[in-house]
Amino acid sequence: MAVATETPFHVLAVDDSLLDRKLIERLLKTSSFQVTTVDSGSKALEFLGIHGEDSSPPVSDADQLEVAVNLIITDYCMPGMTGYDLLKKIKESTSLRDIPVVIMSSENIPSRINRCLEEGADEFFLKPVRLSDMSKLKPHILKSRCKEHYHQEQHQQSDSDSDSNSNECSNPTNNSSSDNSNSRKRKAEDDEVLPQTNRSRHS
């Protein structure tokens, strides 16, 4: 592991088109990101450390990844697992749900965009993606890092008090994923403030 003086952020890019993978890789590298590209959602999940269909959490948390991933950018339209499916799986995973996800699509379909944002995508890019879009990535990475630190602190605190969040602290089964997607709705006013009691990110 590199000593963190100024380690570049690491982005995982997912696209079934070789041409688009080459393009997004170049865009990201030009913007000083470290890049890994994969050609499918299932390969992405493999890389991220999720195996198989079930989304039950690993025992340890995010540092089970061999290389930390700071952001995932994925095409929407892919054969097999779509970008949306991948997004859902990521958000269902306790170890991965804090990683910001950006969706790319060649089609400007508002209902599609909304659906992705509601499922927890942080950003939606219309293809072809441009260099100017790259500057939108870092804020999401930094924001998620802040959240991570905040929740780490909360988690340490909660060890002392036992029963406050029996709901959200429960096992992250599929039941809670809908709660999570609710809490992530960007447009919902209630959730603008970080929910004090949302512990489900750390198990």
Q: Footprint of other proteins on this chain (CB under 8 A)?
A: 17-20, 22-23, 26-27, 30, 77, 106, 127-128, 130-131
Q: Please report how close the Cβ of residue 104 comes to other proteins at its closest, in angstroms.
A: 10
Cβ proximity to other proteins: between 29 and 155 the closer is 29
Q: Can you tell me whether residue 37 is helix, strand or coil?
A: strand
For tokens 């004090």, name the residue. 196
Q: Please report how close the Cβ of residue 25 comes to other proteins at its closest, in angstroms.
A: 10
For residue 185, give both structure tokens.
């709705």
Cβ proximity to other proteins: between 124 and 203 the closer is 124
Cβ proximity to other proteins: between 27 and 96 the closer is 27
The closest alpha carbon to 201, from 77, 62, 9, belongs to 62
Cβ proximity to other proteins: between 39 and 118 the closer is 39
Q: Please report how close the Cβ of residue 123 comes to other proteins at its closest, in angstroms.
A: 19
For residue 105, list its beta bridge partners: 126
Q: Can you tell me whether residue 95 is helix, strand or coil?
A: coil
The closest alpha carbon to 186, from 140, 129, 135, 137, belongs to 140
